[in-house]
Structure 1
Amino acid sequence: MKKPQLWWQKLRNLFKRIGNFFTYDDGHESPEVVDSKDSSEMPANASVWQRIIFYFNVAISSVKTLLLILVSAAFILFSLVFGVGMGYFASLASQEDVPTYQNMKNQIEDSNESAAFYFAKNDKLGNITTDLLRTPVKSNEISPYLKKAIVATEDEYFYQHNGIVPKAISRALLSDLAGVGTQTGGSTLTQQLVKMKILSSETTFKRKAIEILLAIRLDRYFSKSEILTDYLNAATFGRNNKGQNVGGVEQAALGLFNKHASDLTLAEAAYIAGLPQSPSVYTPYKQNGSLKSDLSAGLDRKNTVLFRMYRHNDITKAEYEAARKVDLTSEFQAKETPKAEKRGYGYVYNLITVEARDILIDNLVKQDGKKLKTVKKDTELYNTYWKQADQLLRQKGYRVHSTINREIYDEMQTASKEYASYLGQSKTSTITDPTTQQPTQFTEYVQNGTVLLDNQTGAVLGFVGGRNFSKFQLNHAFDTKRSPGSSIKPMLVYGPAVQTKLISNQTMVADFPVSYSGYFPTDYGQQIQNRFMSVSEALAESYNIPAVNIYHALQKGKTSKEYMEKMGIHLSDKEYSELGIALGGTTNGVTVLQQASAFSTFANQGVHVTPHVISKITDPSGKVIYQAPEAKQRVFSKSTAYIMQNMLSGVVSEGTAESLSGQLPFSTSKLIGKTGTSNDYRDIWFIGSTPGVTMASWIGYDNFYGHNYNLDSNASTNNLTYWAHILSAVYENNSNIFKLNQQMSKPSSVKTTSVLEDTGTLAGSIEYNNVTTKVSGQKTKALFNDSSAKDLTYKFAIGGSEKNYKLFWNYFFGRSNDYGITSTYTGKTVRSKSASVDDNESQYYYSNGSYGTFGSFGSGNYSGYSQGNYSGSTSTSDDGTTTSSGLSNQYGTGNYSYSNSSGNSTYGTYNTTGSTGLSGNGY
């Protein structure tokens, strides 16, 4: 049988015949045409057509060769890509844990897809708040029409394939690579079920490969009926007549037609089956539950589903025609209002939600090989990760285990409510409602934020977020930053000073009038002690001038920042450069959690443990996807921690927290602590630690709507009683967590030496009135951090002027003078531009070229309820003062400034104009 000619062979012969027709000589036969396949050279006497045919043959031959090369190259490239793809696929398969039947069953049949929250000890709190309604049903509770409609529409080969359709996957892959088409039908119902119940919705090749693997395994584990039922219970179907998102066919049927899924008609089933492709487009309801004005998209989609059912031989032509004519618009339910959900633990729900979402965002960013700091700089990119993490929480059935102990949390709430009315007076004023713009009465209460955490693990055991969650959702324990006042001194000043061997617990420090470039710190009530005192006394009584003197000495080495960073408190270099920070003068402030965590470092023998609320997160199968790391870091040596514990115990036994004695169910000898108060009693703090736990408490007003409320002068005492009331309530049923039977042993590196009480040094001789004089006297035990007591010198203390030392030595040797007589700062000295700290009775700043002092606050503007900034946050200790210019976080949307404020006092009159909060220099 003759072999058929190819197209190019036929075309060549045609040219030959044409050439023969035209090539002849005087009626003679034309010479034989030379076939190019027989000769690689053209005869010299070749005619025009012979030349054409020759070149055509050469061209055809070249094209054949080129095509052969291209086909070979394409085959090699395809083989290479296929091989690499299969290798990548095999690599993923080897890395992916093979899920067991039970694991997959738990995941795909888990009807509650929103994350479940747990207290400590696997004590379930509840599920994350979501508007997605879902009621799972069994296979026999679903209309056969609906099952057929879903298969015909979403996966017509569902009953034939083994979980995937290779042809569809290839088509989808080519479409993605070519960049054409968005919906290629590449996913089977099995794959969609895997994506909805097991994997995230990200569209990476890795996730797609894992999806394929799991789909194949799912098809082997479960029957088609089981897979279809689970899909119908998992898919989303738009909104119901209450504006709520619905998941699963049962809620879809109830929400649209007020019917159970088993009772749906053919037309109703077809409508619901068409929703999953684009629920927001095809749903008949708006967000508020009312019907859309144009329902054509959903109804057209219903008819498309019916046609596919008819084409798939699921229904007859008569059934198809009848269902197309059904008017579903009359069957859709009228709008209804959903019932408000009532439940407790609002602060806990919100806290766990935020913490868990942040963890998932961090994980997603790391999976993409990015850095969280970089992502946060790109608002749009960060929001993308935020939405993805939020979706995972609300749709993937995670279990989020927290460290919050329900019993401890409840005890703290009860105790807080019992004593809340004693914290201070509520303030009522008339404000303009931001929504209605009408005058209304607004009452502001003294708020509280409290955190109790485990010193060794960093686990938050309980907290108090505020007075009334239903009225104010702001979490004062975790989300608000306030001026720390003197409560910052141990971490910022005394701890670093002991660590660097600048001081022992008996080192003397000056408390005399002092000016640092025009900055005049004072003690509480503008008092000045006019004497040298031990650092232990200075810390116990929270005197300000000694703290500033020590910080000034430390600042030369710029060491405080290093320790603060390790304890989780991050401040700016500008803040560290200002001496007012030694008294709590920060720009933005700190949170209660940060304070508790940093202070716990001393109780934990110098080791800081990063605090955490989430202990672990698991998927529905029980696989741990996040485990809280043991983030421990040594900040101070054991000897420093031991000496600081010794000094901080004095705060409780004989210092500013002495009133705690008798208010606790255990001896205060096991307690260390520190108080703190900001200017005009705006912020009141106490942080206390036993060997086992640390609890920090803050009280103050939120000062919404630009108000400027301050607490009373007895607020510090009230807060101490409040703190004791809460801690006693926790101790009653949880005494073991306090670990009162433990006590830090004295490290060998702590050296104990007898020193002179008056100088903190060894006895010795000095030059006094040009005479060498021996100095001795009452001695005391001093603790040194792996160092020795210093020899006596004329200037033996930290700080102090020549005049101060002369006053001391004259007094020491018997002369009568004013040494040790407390005086009050008069405020007559005009302070320089660098002044950033003032006394407890006034607010002043250098601003816009003029000096202001001792004046009352002026007026300001403030708007909104959301968290924002206000300017001129100031801070003082319990027994002194400091301020810091700049911004401070408060509850509000923007900035307000105190402006055009003048003050009149016994100390003089100054006028000032405050700049806005953004400049950081206004009131």
Structure 2
Amino acid sequence: MKNLWNSIVNSIKGIKSWSDFATKANLTIEVIRRIVLYIIAGLFVMLSLAIGLGFGYVSALTNQVEVPNKQEMRSQLKDVNNSTSLYFANDEKVEDLQKTLVGNRVQLSQMSPYLKKAIVATEDSDFYKHSGVEPKSVFRAVLSDVTGIGAQTGGSTLTQQTVKMQLLSSETTWKRKAVEIFLAMRVDKYFSKDEILEDYLNAVTLGKNNKGQNIQGVQAAAKGLFGKNAADLNLAESAFIAGLPQSPSVYTPYDNHGKIMSDTSLGMKRKNVVLYRMLRDKKITQSEYDEAKSYDLKNDLLKPVKAPTHKIKYGYVYNLLTQQAQTIIVKRLAKNDGIAYKDLKKDKNLYNKYALQADTELHNKNYRIDSTIDKSLYRQMNAQVQSFQDNLGTTHSGSGVDPATGKTVKVSEPVQNGSVLLDNKTGQVLAFVGGVNFKKSQLNHAFSTNRSPGSSIKPLITFAPAIENGLIGSQTQLADFKTKFAKYAPTDYGETIQNRFISARETLEESYNIPSVNLYNYIRQQGVSSKKYMSKMGIHLTDSEYNQLGITLGGTDQGVTVLEQASAFSTFANKGQHVNPYVVSKITDPTGKVLYQHKHTKKKVFSKQTSYIIQNMLHGVVTKGTASALSYESNFSTKNLFGKTGTSNNYRDNWFLGSTDGVTLASWIGYDNFYHDNFNLSSNSTDINQELWSRMANAVYKENPGVMNVHKKFNRPDGVQSYKVDKETGTNTGTIEYNGMTSKVNQHTTQSLYYKGSPKNLTYDNFAIGGKAKNYKLFWNNYFGRDNGYGVVKRLNGSSKSASEIASENGSGRTSGFSNSANDSDSSDVTTTTGSTTTGGSRNSNNSTTANGNSETGTGSGAGAGAGTGSGSSVGGGSSTGETGGAGGGTTGETGGATGGGAAGGGILGGE
């Protein structure tokens, strides 16, 4: 360009005559003309490229959108009077979601002519001329999105606004804008202008009425502001309503309580703007304008009225289905925008934005949510809890500080219950109990609170993985002697130590802690990871938690929900397959199109052989173990019932999970302790929870016997081997050297079930997991006749009490009897061999039977300086009143050893 200019200058300097000037001038003009042409051509090419790229981008976006047909669009455009409907299973209705907007649809002929003119003049003066979209509107929208400058609705035509309100979510992405433009042109093609205007006027949001409710549509606005129908609005009233869509929250005359705001000037000024635009477009005369502008509109506003209340009959179901449906819609919206749900959850603000969109759609569009909840079973289970709640424990009253307001409030803390009835094979939640009183607490204790699982986690995290990997059989012996792992010293219930070797079967039946900890420590040493099994069952713990031995007793950092624990436990009844639990089975949009259909997903967690062995072992829990009361409390056959109890430290939580072939029913009881209280259940909470469980199970069985399938036997699959073993050692019978003499060991035999592996051969000092040399010496000396205290239950403080005394103290409901005996051949029948030869003494007869325990509480001692002082906290002190995981000495609870230096730290959240 510089050279060109120099050439022009030099040419001018070289002019010698008029002829020469004319020639050079023509040349210069030609050069400039060509430069201009090149520039114009370049701009044209660039503009064409930009337009092409723009159309390509829009085309790419719209190609990803499922385009509704005419009938579907008609249905959605006119949908303003309905909200989402919630359904039980079998097409029984729960409730309609309460609309966030109130309104009634009316025809265009039932609206004031002033109103129609005012809206068109204000929102889209070229409405009757364009084809749904105007280039200038698109340009304003783009400018508004890029710069943030411009009115909320001023960037779109009335057609686009209608599409946005009725066919799209409220997101403001470029993709949504492109789809909006595309659909607006389609709507304009299919429907008349008056149809579109009618849809807009019925769907638009218009602030609040004199009841404090959000208004949708001009009929609701006319009724809620001026107490008249839309057809009867005068010019001033019509102009006021027509001014509201630009910013309803700013121009509305009423507050959230239906009171007239002290300053309504902005709304009145906006009314005058609307009147001016009507005058400008010659929709009204000058005299009409002057009269309406001076009209005392404030005098027409209605006085405040209290909004009616709506009682929801099934509150827990209503809230649960709403929450679950919202999550499904959020996932769908995010997926449509190319955002992975896992990434969305990491961005709180973005998630809240999508959650608001989903909530708006659910409350203002006619979706249908079908659930798995059986209405009759739900009612029966909740009726049992209502009738039994006074027996759950003491309701504590007092005062506490509300964390939200900082104010002191009156507090009433009842014992809460969360229960889940789960179909084992499909994962359907058939029924649940969210709490004892929805009016006083809307917190869903079955789905939304995390609690320590106590010993109910033992078969999931320890025993099943051990069996799956061939590390134990059902009669493998585990050490239950005083022991310490670094600073972690677990004990059994009631601060006791059994002081003997105990079979894996009896450990689960009586829920002993020390043997469980020894087994968990052993499987970790053998390279078995419980994490891979737990994760497949839907329970996700941290590596830090898995590294703590107290995890096998329920010492988690955050705990689990009742749903999670029930779902994981159902894996055993489902032959080792885990099926994801679910509540929402289907979501249908207003046109009848299915937006979501639950898909069953199964994961193999354990073999069917392992599952059968666990079932077999846990059947003893309900026949003679910690839940033996169920044998006479249940009104149905418990022959094929298996289950597991669980109690966290200081009786903070109590669980029972029971499974038949058909269902798993899980019940948890405990206090919320919202105000950092330390309310614990009574020592007989195991008995109380079992009675509640049996009442619910009896009610379910009476209502629908087939759903439980109690008569279906868990048949032993091929691959489960039954070996005859010595009862006391869990090994093959054989001989040992004792005091220099060979002695035959086969006095009592029983059957031990294995999936992989087989019983060990008998040895003097290596037959039990966790056993130490002094333990084996004590055992053999006692076996051959010495009364040395083997098998005598000892307490942590050094005193010893009989099993019956401890049971009496703690209120156990267990029956007495031989803990390793059973009525069926699949269990551990004990056979006494007569005439067996031993040299050096006879077996002490008192040790051929096992002592029965009490309510499953335990202790842990350690050098850690921590004690839970509230729900889920673990701070300071030496006597723990918190949950498992506190690092303190002198705690009580079935999870006992989950305290001290080796336990999972952090405590359990007692609520939310």
* Fold shared per TM-score above 0.5: yes
Displacement of 1:181: 4.6
- For the residue of structure 2 that corresponds to 1:846, the secondary structure is coil
> In 2, are the aligned partners of 1:649 and 1:672 still within 8 Å (CA)?
yes
**Counterparts in 2 of 1:125 and 1:469: CA distance versus 1, 3 Å:** same
* Contact 2:498–2:794 under 8 Å retained in 1: yes
In structure 1, C-alpha distance between the alignment counterparts of 2:663 and 2:321, rounded to whole Å: 21
Change (3 A) 1:366 1:851: closer
Q: Is 2:528 aligned against 1:508? A: no
Please give the residue correspondences for 1:543-622 in structure 2 after superposition, counting only pairs within 5 Å. 543-556=512-525, 557=527, 559-622=529-592
Residue of structure 2 in register with 1:802 after alignment: 773
Q: How much does 1:729 deviate?
A: 1.2
SS for the counterpart of 1:662 is helix
Counterpart contact for 2:733–2:762, Cα < 8 Å: yes
Query: Match of 1:908?
Result: none
The CA deviation at 1:684 is 0.9
Asked if 2 retains the 8 angstrom alpha-carbon contact of 1:483 and 1:875, the reply is no
Q: Are residues 709 and 181 of structure 1, via their aligned partners in 2, closer, same or farther at CA, if it must alter by over 3 Å? A: closer
Q: Does 1:328 align with 2:314?
A: no
> Alpha-carbon deviations, 1:304-355, whole Å to 9, x = none?
2222223333323322222122111111123333233322222222222222
Aligned equivalents of 1:692, 1:513: Cα separation in 2 = 41
Q: Are 2:371 and 1:402 aligned?
A: yes
Q: Any idea what the Cα deviations from partners look like across 1:376-412, whole Å, max 9, x if unmatched? A: 4443333333333333333343333222222221111
Q: Deviations over 1:462-505 (max 9, x none)?
A: 11111111111222112222221111111111111111211111
Contact 2:655 / 2:686 at 8 angstroms: preserved in 1?
Answer: yes
The equivalent of 2:463 in structure 1 is 494
Moved more, 181-190 or 688-697: 181-190
Pair 771,461 (structure 1): closer, same or farther in 2 beyond 3 Å? same
After superposition, where does 1:238-253 map in structure 2 within 5 Å?
Answer: 238-253=207-222
Q: How far, CA to CA, are the matches of 1:446 and 1:604 in structure 2?
A: 32
- The one-letter amino acid of 1:202's match is E
Partner secondary structure for residue 695 of structure 1: strand
Where relative contact order (Cα < 8 A, 6+ residues apart) is larger, the structure is 2
> What is the distance in 2 between the residues matched to 1:703 and 1:531?
38
Give yes or no for contact 1:524–1:543 (8 Å, CA) kept in 2.
yes
- Give the 5 Å matches for 1:337-348: 337-348=306-317
In structure 2, the partner of 1:278 is 247
Q: Does 1:646 align with 2:616?
A: yes
**Cα distance 1:841–1:787, how it changes in 2: closer, same or farther (>3 A)?**
closer
Structure 1 residue 782: Cα displacement: 2.0
| Shift of residue 223, structure 1, vs aligned partner | 3.1
Quote the offset at 1:581 in angstroms: 1.7
CA offsets 1:503-527 (integer angstroms, 9 cap, x no match): 1112111112222224222211122
Give the letter aligned to residue 422 of structure 2: L
Q: For 2:224 and 2:379, how far apart are their aligned partners in 1?
A: 38
- Equivalents in 2 of 1:712, 1:626: separation in Å? 45
Aligned to 1:906: none
Higher mean alpha-carbon deviation, 372-381 vs 126-135, is at 372-381
The residue that corresponds to 1:895 in the other structure is none
Match among 106, 109, 117 for residue 86 of structure 2? 117
Q: How many Å apart are 1:639 and its aligned residue?
A: 1.2
Q: What displacement does 1:441 show?
A: 5.2
Among candidates 689, 703, 707, match of residue 719 of structure 1: 689
Query: Take 1:845 and 1:267, find their aligned partners in 2: how far apart are those partners?
Result: 80
Residues 572, 199 of structure 1: alpha-carbon distance in 2 compared, 3 angstrom cutoff: same
> In the aligned structure 2, how far is the partner of 1:285 from the partner of 1:195?
26
Q: Which residue of structure 2 aligns with residue 675 of structure 1?
A: 645
Q: Secondary structure at the match of 2:245?
A: coil
Matches within 5 A, 1:839-854: 840=858, 846-847=864-865
Aligned equivalents of 1:818 and 1:270: distance in 2? 96
1:232 corresponds to 2:206? no
Asked if 1:164 corresponds to 2:133, the answer is: yes
Which residue does 1:10 correspond to in 2? none
The question of whether the paired residues in 2 share the 8 Å contact of 1:543 and 1:880 is answered with no
Q: Residue 795 of structure 2 corresponds to which residue in structure 1?
A: 824
Cα 1:182/1:273, change in 2 over 3 Å: closer
SS for the counterpart of 2:650 is: helix
TM-fit CA distance, 1:547: 0.5
Query: Which whole-Å CA distance do the structure 2 matches of 1:78 and 1:440 have between them?
Result: 67
List gaps (5 residues or longer) in structure 2.
1-7, 800-855, 868-873
Determine helix, strand or coil for the equivalent of 1:337: coil
Query: Structure 1 counterpart of 2:72, which letter?
Result: N
Q: Does 1:708 align with 2:678?
A: yes
8 Å Cα contact 1:678-1:875 kept in structure 2: no
Check conservation: 2:553, 2:894, Cα contact below 8 A. no
Q: Does structure 1 conserve the Cα–Cα contact (< 8 Å) formed by 2:553 and 2:895?
A: no
Report how far residue 657 of structure 1 moved: 0.7
1:248-267 superposed matches below 5 A: 248-267=217-236
2:504 counterpart of 1:542: no
SS of match in other structure, 1:821: coil
Give the Cα separation in 2 of the matches to 1:593 and 1:453: 8
Say if 1:479 and 1:827 are closer, same or farther in 2 by CA, change over 3 A: farther
Distance 1:568 1:851 in 2: 30
CA–CA distance in structure 2, aligned partners of residues 298 and 764 of structure 1: 97
On the 8 A contact 1:844/1:853 being kept in 2, the answer is: no
From 632, 651, 667, give the equivalent of 2:602.
632
Which letter does structure 2 place at the counterpart of 1:796? F
Of 31, 44, 59, which aligns to 2:17? 31
In 1: Cα distance, 2:72 partner to 2:678 partner: 57
Amino acid of the structure 2 residue aligned with 1:822 = V
SS of aligned partner of 2:490: coil
Preserved CA contact (<8 Å) 2:879 2:891: no
- The structure 2 residue matched to 1:442, chosen from 411, 417, 440, is 411
Q: 1:64 is paired with a residue of what secondary structure?
A: helix
Deviation, 1:97, is 3.5
The answer to whether 1:699 aligns with 2:719 is: no
Q: Deviations over 1:602-661 (max 9, x none)?
A: 111111122222223232112233333323211111111111111111111111111011
Query: Highest Rg: 1 or 2?
Result: 1
CA deviations on 1:354-387 (whole Å, 9 max, x unpaired) are 2222233333333443444444444333333333
Residue 734 of structure 2 corresponds to: 764
Alignment-mate amino acid for residue 552 of structure 1: N
Counterpart for residue 623 of structure 1: 593
Confirm or deny: 8 A CA contact 1:567 1:635 kept in the other structure.
yes
Of 459, 469, 492, which residue of structure 1 is paired with 2:428?
Answer: 459
The amino acid that maps onto 2:544 is K
Q: SS where residue 633 of structure 2 aligns?
A: coil
Using a 3 Å threshold, how does the CA distance of structure 1 residues 35 and 755 change in structure 2: closer, same or farther? Answer: farther
In structure 2, what is the Cα distance between the partners aligned to 1:411 and 1:235?
44
Greater shift, 335-344 or 187-196, is seen at: 335-344
Following superposition, the deviation at residue 673 of structure 1 comes to 0.6
Q: Which residue is equivalent to 2:36?
A: 67
The 3 A distance-change label for structure 1 pair 617 and 851 is closer
- Within 2, Cα distance between the matches of 1:741 and 1:85? 67
Q: How far 1:721 sits from its partner (Å)?
A: 0.6
Counterpart pick for 1:416 among 385, 392, 412: 385
- Per-residue CA distance 1:862-915 (angstroms, 9 max, x = gap): xxxxxxx999899866495543542432357xxxxxxxxxxxxxxxxxxxxxxx
* C-alpha contact 1:429 1:441 (8 A) present in aligned 2: yes
Give the counterpart letter for 1:287 in structure 2.
N
Q: The residue matched to 1:404 in structure 2 has which SS?
A: coil
Q: C-alpha displacement at 1:697, in angstroms? A: 0.7
* Cα-to-partner distance string for 1:434-457 (whole Å, 9 max, x where unaligned): 899887753321111111111122
- 3-state SS of paired residue (1:352): helix
Distance 1:333 1:355, change over 3 A: same
Cα pair distance change 1:119/1:74, threshold 3 Å: farther
The question of whether the paired residues in 2 share the 8 Å contact of 1:521 and 1:839 is answered with: no
Relative to the length of structure 2, the TM-score reads 0.85
Q: Give the total of aligned pairs.
A: 836
Deviation at 1:31, TM superposition (A): 3.2
Counterpart of 2:632 in 1: which secondary structure?
Answer: coil
Q: 1:681 is paired with a residue of what secondary structure?
A: coil
